[in-house]
Amino acid sequence: MDNWWFFPHLNAFLNGLSGVFLLAGFYFIKTGQREKHRAAMTTALAISAVFLTSYVTSKVVIGLDSVKFTAEGPVRWIYFFVLITHTVLAALITPFVLVTFWRALKGRFEVHRKLARVVFPIWLYVSVTGVIVYLLLYQLFPSN
């Protein structure tokens, strides 16, 4: 683990950064700046791909259950609620993010908009809760 200490911090950073681009992309489309929307969403997706690669690599080199959440009390329930909803939604939303992106690339903006209205808030939730899980586990309630 010692050699790979940076992975959780890097993963949380990438996760948060893609969330920033996601929010920027939303702002751009709501203010009619389509080209900037395209660029921001493409960047958010690219950062998410880098995140996923880094995340899987970290699980391979560090192991699956290296850090435990040891805090007691209500925060324990909050932590596991956030962790479980984050994990389940992350797995579910990924193919829909790709379809939403693909529809936009193909110029099918009517379908893109309909999908995006559902996909965007869930993707944002996944992004924000990724950072919350990191903060709870590594910064606010570290086990050692």
Residues lying near ligand HEM in the complex (CB under 6 A) are found at: 26, 29, 34, 37-38, 41-42, 45, 97, 100-101, 104-105, 109, 112-113, 116-117, 119-120, 123
Output 104 or 126, the one with its CB closest to ligand HEM: 104
Taking the complex as a whole, the smallest distance from the CB of residue 90 to ligand HEM amounts, in Å, to 14
Output 7 or 26, the one with its CB closest to ligand HEM: 26
Residue 12 amino acid letter: A
47 with 11: CB under 8 angstroms? no
Output 12 or 97, the one with its CB closest to ligand HEM: 97
| Residue that is written with structure tokens 């959440």 in the block | 69
Q: The tokens of 84 are what?
A: 């479980």
Of 47, 29, 30, give the one whose Cα is nearest residue 38: 29
